[in-house]
Amino acid sequence: MLGSDVVPQLFFLILTLTLPFSAAYHVGVNYGTVANNLPPPHQVVNFIKTKTNINHVKIFDTNPDILAAFSGSTEISLTVTIPNSDILSLSKLPNARSWLSNHLLPFLPTTSISYIAVGNEVIATSDKTLITHLLPAMESLTLALHLANVTGILVSTPHSLGILSGSSEPPSSGKFRNGYDKAIFTPILDFHNRTKSPFMVNPYPYFGSGPETLNYALFNSNDYVFVDPVTKMNYTNMFDAQLDAVYSAMKRIGYGDVDIVVAETGWPSAGEPNQTGVGLDYAAAYNGNLIKHVNSGKGTPLMPNRVFETYIFSLFNENLKSSVSEQNFGLFKPDFTQVYDVGIMKTNKV
């Protein structure tokens, strides 16, 4: 794909060879557990540590067995998630303090936790009570961490791209949904700016693509595919376009400098027989190209050279998810064999 770009390719090679590997590795995984056939957490941790280059893991809960399994593996940083159903209660400081004491403090500092994700895609629920308590819960948890003298854990919440209004093309036109920008996102982004925590988003080119944009979604376009008429920037992949639409929305209300973390993205390796653009080759192309793109450090057209810590969804195929495609987002099968190769194993360095 980079065939004609010999110079950047050489530069990337030199960079990768001279920097410690971890310094150039920004890709993590979501370790989801909606399955009845997964190996026990200690085997999973041992596998991640000894066999893969993965150094960031996100989980969808604060399962104590998983937190205990990561004890002593401080080279892997964890993001834990608070279920949406706890947000209301955690908006009160005393509840946030006892939640912290019960769920996380017992595992610190031997388990390395970098982020607490407060809920998942809360805005997409359209539940007004939940949405109005989201930021108060993030504030309470931040204060609870401070009162417990815990440093190094930042609080955030992952958003679906449904937070943007209408079409996110061109990327420069990205803005938050009407009525949500000032009321919801200005205070949330002000919180991120104050606490130096990242804005988390879940972009899925898989859901945004059709037959004509499949190669664009898979990072397989050789030439420019889309020119933003306002900025004149060339987009060769949908991932960059989606991130730049988010960036434009943030910048429009004054917070273009807040870090972005890609909390989920991925592509299924199997689906219903009538689904197009789903399969092993597509999933391998998306995730393989994504990893190269993120680790290249080149950023996006509107955010050159910015690095986005990116969590692939997901670590395992999860057999209790509700549809065939949802069951097949995993990089690995429950027996630890690769569903397809994306160069994430230790033996595949460079």
* Enzyme catalytic residues: 121, 264
**Which of 129, 234, 276, 323 is close enough to bind ligand NAG by CB under 6 A?**
234
Under rule CB under 6 A, how many of the chain's residues touch ligand NAG? 12
Task: Name the residue nearer to ligand NAG (CB basis): 126 or 149.
Answer: 149
Could you tell me if residue 307 is left (phi over 0), alpha (psi between -120 and 50 degrees) or otherwise beta? beta
Binding part of the chain for ligand NAG, among 97-105, 153-161, 230-238, 240-248 by CB under 6 A, reads 230-238
Contact 81, 53 (CB under 8 A): no
Per-residue x/- mask for ligand NAG, residues 22 to 61, rule CB under 6 A?
A: ----------------------------------------
Restricted to residues 149-178, the positions that interact with ligand NAG (CB under 6 A) are 149
Q: Does 225 bind ligand NAG (CB under 6 A)?
A: no
Task: Name the residue nearer to ligand NAG (CB basis): 190 or 259.
Answer: 190
d(CA 274, CA 316): 24
330 closest CA partner among 163, 320, 172: 320
Q: Does 204 bind ligand NAG (CB under 6 A)?
A: no
Q: Does 233 bind ligand NAG (CB under 6 A)?
A: yes
**Which of 110, 224, 229, 281 is close enough to bind ligand NAG by CB under 6 A?**
224
CB of 148 to ligand NAG, least distance (A): 5
Cite the DSSP H helix spans in the chain: 6-18, 41-51, 64-69, 87-90, 93-103, 128-147, 186-195, 205-208, 214-217, 238-252, 280-296, 324-327
SS (H, E, C) 243-312: HHHHHHHHHHCCCCCCCEEEEEECCCCCCCCCCCCCCHHHHHHHHHHHHHHHHHCCECCCCECCCCCEEE
Contact 226, 247 (CB under 8 A): no
Binding part of the chain for ligand NAG, among 17-25, 153-161, 231-239, 303-311 by CB under 6 A, reads 231-239
SS3 assignment, position 347: helix
Per-residue x/- mask for ligand NAG, residues 241 to 280, rule CB under 6 A?
A: -------------xx----------------x-x------
CB of 258 to ligand NAG, least distance (A): 8
107 closest CA partner among 143, 59, 139: 59
CA dihedral 140, 143, 145, 146 (to 10 degrees): 180
Q: Does 4 bind ligand NAG (CB under 6 A)?
A: no
Q: Give the binding site for ligand NAG (CB under 6 A).
A: 148-149, 190, 193, 224, 232-234, 254-255, 272, 274
